A and B are shown apart, each in its own frame.
Chain A
Amino acid sequence: MEWSRVFSFRRFGAIVAKEFVQMRRDRVTFAIMVAIPIVQMVVFGYAINSDPKHLPTAVVSADHSPFSRTLVAAMQNSGYFRVVNAAATETEAAMLLEEGEVQFVLNIPEDFGRRLVRGDRPALLLTADATDPAATSNALGASRLLVEAALARDLSGPLAHLRSSPPPVSLILHPSYNPEGITQYNIVPGLMGVVLTMTLVIITGLAITRERERGTMENLLATPVKPFEVMMGKIIPYILVGYLQMGLIILAGRYLFKVPMIGHLGLLLLVSLLFIAANLGVGLTFSTLARNQLQAVQMAFFFFLPSILLSGFMFPFRGMPVWAQTIGEVLPLTHFLRIVRGILLKGNGLRQILPNLWPIALFLLVALTIGLTRYRRTLD
């Protein structure tokens, strides 16, 4: 059998070239694809960059020594905390925290002053509403030093020996509602996966439905071009778009938001190919299933929602119920997030990311198979 009856590079090349020309002509779509990463960076960037101050704080104090007063004053002065209720009861404080009225509750135990002086290293409990970790992490980070510095002034003269290590109090930080305690740096790498998922699935979702709606499919089907050539030809140009978006996010992450990138960037770009292809594969499959462009967009959206919610981007993965984790494990974004964070933040190499690489490959394979079998060779 003649090889060209199965696959022809010339036909494939013709599709690629055509898609590039169409992409160049469709300025609006192209602009949107470039704008989305930028807009997202700016929107999320506020959450990342802002160093929230004056966070409402309640104090539950069972101690009336000058030390507790010093502590509360020092917290106020740091600018991070704004004490809105200096004499709350346990239950009041719990309620305030639950309702989101306060971001922090500081618990000062009974006899705090006396035990401090005795060198007992009394415990202070700082509970944070860490649903939005970006909001509390800086304040939490500052609190330890703050407490020590504040007490250092009071612990002078005969009490000076208490200033040496170990610290005079043990500060217990309790970030509630967010067991994993995502740090701000998680967001930029995560955004990369989110933007790619969002734009690439939609853009290719429209690719074949558009040919159908505009009637050009009729012409295409009457020619000798093969489904695989059409599918691949449509994927290639958008892989480049995907890389363009990644480049934008990496640059912004690095120079605007100063996200540390300790891993190998080349490795990241290489493995991203798989993730980009997986998303394009999903989009193409949608576009073979959808009857019109609206349906294709809706399908893309229904794919995007679980991706963003269950992948660990929005909520910490380990905090989700088992069923949600199971769905999450199927989605390419989940694995890509782990890979990106692994490479950029932890400096992972190929060996460490491998367990997250093959699920994406498998996903791509399944998506392409469905797409190819669903690609109708006729107009029936």
Chain B
Amino acid sequence: MTPSEPIIDVRELTKAFGNNIAVNRLSLRVRPGEIYGFLGPNGSGKTTFIRMLCGLLRPDSGEGTCLGYDLFKEAERIRLQSGYLAQRFSLYEDLSVRENLRFMARIYRLPTVKETVDETMERLGLGRFADQLAGTLSGGWKQRLALAACLLHKPRLLLLDEPTAGVDPKARRDFWDQIYHLTAEGVTALISTHYMDEAERCHRVAYLAYGHLLTSGTAAEVIRGAGLFTWTVTGENVHRLSDELKGRDGVLQVVPFGHTLHVSGRDPDLLAAALSGLDPTRFRCEEGEAGLEDVFISLMQNPGGD
């Protein structure tokens, strides 16, 4: 495997549960050292996809490699070199932090269990909770423990399924710091998330809906590819305008952001015309740039594109 070869390379991967196609012919490449963001509403197939990568689910069809190993034939090897953090906390709540880590270190047959566990606890600041039961940790610390558990065996690929869901902002920031450190060391990370700010921290993102990959690439690529023009409207009671604007020609979507509205459309002239009728003494309109969130929302509302 050469350094430029993709870490994850899957083609047409499909998984169905009965009639429900959870992942539909998904093709994706993740390059070494990348932080790859995986977005999409609940039930869009993110977890299912990640589980297929680490051998927890068997794809119905498609092909692909992970870390250069065949997804279907070499799941064992993929397991040894990747770290999976499940969406739901899946370590033992009735074991202490140290016991959980020691257990995992032994499962991976690490040569120096004690040293590795101590080192990892140190690195993630878990030392002071070493003898506390995992079940009594707060959400943020639980996730940190879960991350520690999948770092023990120094994996080359991290598969993190909503690692920051339900975690406070400070803990989220710390978590991302850790991820940056790791990728600086050459680790690749695939992270599913609901947070837009996190999406913007990723080198690349993919957006999934109903099992389909709707778009992927760097944030700039995704935004450019969407062909979306966005204006921001500010002013007193600006939210009241929302319904009115939605009805106008050239307006595709209106998204409230705090005290402003993001009004987007595909035709810049039509959009400008639609906004020109607003009372300039009460509302201020500025031509802006579409953000990832505007793009994702438009993808959700018009999954087929136009």
> In this complex, which of B51, B91, B92 has the most chain A Cβ atoms within 10 angstroms of its Cβ?
B92
For A26, the chain B residues whose CB sits under 8 A away are 94
Interface string of A301-329 (1 = CB under 8 A from B): 00000000000000000000000000000
CB contacts (< 8 Å) of B220 on chain A: these are none
In the complex, the 7 A-B pairs of residues with the closest C-beta atoms, listed nearest first: A14-B106, A219-B90, A222-B84, A215-B88, A215-B90, A218-B90, A218-B86
CB-based contact B99/A223 at 8 Å: no
Q: Is there an interface contact between A4 and B109, defined as CB atoms closer than 8 Å?
A: yes
Interface stretch among B53-61, B124-132, B207-215?
B53-61
Residue-wise, chain B 75-117 has the 8 Å CB interface mask toward A (1 for contact) of 0100110001010111111110001000110111100000000
Contact partners of B93 in chain A: CB under 8 A: 214
Residues of A within 8 A of B (CB): 4-5, 8, 10-11, 13-14, 17-18, 21-22, 25-26, 214-219, 221-225, 377-380
Residues of B within 8 A of A4 (CB): 109
B26 to chain A, nearest CB (A): 18
Q: Which residues of A contact B57 (CB under 8 A)?
A: 378-380
In the complex with contacts A13-B106, A378-B57, A21-B95 CB distance below 8 A: yes
Q: Can you list 21 residue pairs at the A/B interface with Cβ under 8 Å? A: A11-B107, A18-B92, A18-B95, A25-B94, A26-B94, A215-B88, A216-B90, A216-B92, A217-B90, A218-B88, A219-B84, A219-B86, A219-B91, A221-B56, A223-B79, A223-B104, A223-B108, A224-B79, A377-B55, A378-B55, A379-B51
Residues of A within 8 A of B89 (CB): 215
A-binding residues in B (CB < 8 A): 51, 54-58, 76, 79-80, 84, 86, 88-95, 99, 103-104, 106-109, 133, 149
Q: Known contacts A17-B103, A224-B76, A380-B58: does B109 contact A11 (CB below 8 Å)?
A: yes
Q: Are B107 and A222 in touch, CB under 8 angstroms?
A: no
Question: 8 additional contacts, CB 8 Å, given A215-B89, A223-B79?
Answer: A11-B107, A14-B106, A18-B103, A216-B90, A218-B88, A218-B90, A219-B149, A222-B79
- In the assembled complex, the Cα of A14 lies from the Cα of B51 at a distance in Å of 24
- Beyond A223-B79, A378-B55, A379-B51, whether A216 also contacts B91 by CB under 8 A is yes
Q: A215-B86, A222-B54, A224-B80 are in contact. Are A21 and B108 (CB under 8 A)?
A: no
- In the bound complex, what is the Cα–Cα distance between A17 and B58 (angstroms)? 31
Q: Chain B residues near A216: list those with CB within 8 A.
A: 90-92
Residues of A within 8 A of B58 (CB): 378, 380
- A8 and B91 in contact, given A219-B86, A378-B56, A378-B57 (Cβ under 8 angstroms): no
- The closest CB in chain A to the CB of B83 belongs to A222
Once the chains bind, are B108 and A224 in contact (CB under 8 Å)? Answer: yes
A8 to B109, CA, bound (A): 9
- Interface centre among A18, A26, A380, by most chain B C-beta atoms within 10 angstroms, is A18
Across-interface contacts of A218 in B (CB, < 8 A):
56, 86, 88, 90
Question: Which residues of B sit under 8 angstroms from A222, Cβ to Cβ?
Answer: 54-56, 79, 84, 86
Task: Give the number of residue pairs across the A-B interface with Cβ within 8 Å.
Answer: 76
CB contacts (< 8 Å) of B149 on chain A: these are 219
The residues of A that contact B91 with a CB separation of less than 8 Å are 216, 219
Residues of the A chain whose Cβ atoms lie less than 8 Å from the Cβ of B108: 223-224
Chain B nearest CB from A211 CB (Å) reads 9
Point out which of A22, A214, A225 has the most chain B C-beta atoms below 10 A from its C-beta: A214
Chain A residues in 8 Å Cβ range of B86:
215, 218-219, 222
Residue of A nearest to B84 (CB): A222
In the complex, what's the smallest C-beta–C-beta distance from B58 to chain A, in angstroms?
A: 6
* Chain A neighbourhood of B84, CB < 8 A: 219, 222
Q: How far is the CA of A216 from the CA of B55 in the complex (A)?
A: 16
Q: Which residue of A lies closest to B104 (CB)?
A: A223
Bound-complex Cα distance A377 to B94 (A): 24
Task: Report which of B54, B56, B95, B109 forms a contact with A22, defined as CB distance below 8 A.
Answer: B95
A223 nearest in chain B by CB position: B107
- Give Cα distance in the complex from A6 to B88, angstroms: 29
Q: Are A379 and B106 in contact (CB under 8 A)?
A: no
CA distance A13 to B109 in the complex (A): 11
Residues of B within 8 A of A10 (CB): 106, 109
B contact residues around A22 at 8 Å (CB)? 92, 94-95
**Cα distance, A218 to B90, chains bound together (Å):** 7
Distance (whole angstroms) from the CB of B87 to the closest CB of chain A: 9
Distance between B133 CB and nearest chain A CB, rounded to angstroms = 8
Q: Give complex CA distance A13, B90 in Å.
A: 20
Q: Which residue of B lies closest to A222 (CB)?
A: B84
Residues of chain B with a CB closer than 8 A to A11's CB: 106-107, 109
**C-alpha spacing A259/B93, complex, angstroms:** 45
**A18 to chain B: which residues have CB within 8 Å?**
92, 95, 99, 103
How far is A8 from B103 in the complex, measured between Cα atoms in Å? 14
With the chains together, A344 CA to B265 CA distance in Å?
Answer: 89
CB distance from B73 to the nearest CB of A (A): 14
Residue of B nearest to A5 (CB): B76
Contact A14 B56 (CB under 8 A): no
Among A4, A21, A219, A224, the most chain B Cβ lie within 10 Å of the Cβ of A219
A215 vs B87: C-alpha distance when bound (angstroms): 10
The chain B residue with its CB closest to the CB of A4 is B109
The docked-state distance in angstroms from the alpha carbon of A13 to that of B113 is 13
Q: What residue of chain B has the Cβ atom nearest to residue A10's Cβ?
A: B109
Bound together, the chains give a CA A214 to CA B90 distance in angstroms of: 7
Residue of B nearest to A379 (CB): B56
The interface residues of chain A lying within 8 Å CB-to-CB of B94 are: 21-22, 25-26
B79 to A: closest C-beta gap in Å: 5
Q: Please, which residues of chain B bring their CB within 8 A of the CB of A21?
A: 94-95, 99
Bound form: Cα–Cα A10–B94 in Å = 21
A224 and B90 form a contact (CB under 8 A): no
With the chains together, A216 CA to B58 CA distance in Å? 19
- A217–B79 alpha-carbon span in the complex (Å): 15
Report the Cα distance A227→B57, complex, angstroms.
Answer: 16
> Nearest chain B CB to A212's CB is how many angstroms away?
11
Query: Bound state CA distance, A166 and B155, in angstroms?
Result: 91
A223 CB contacts on chain B under 8 angstroms: 79, 104, 107-108
Chain B residues with Cβ below 8 Å from A380 are: 57-58
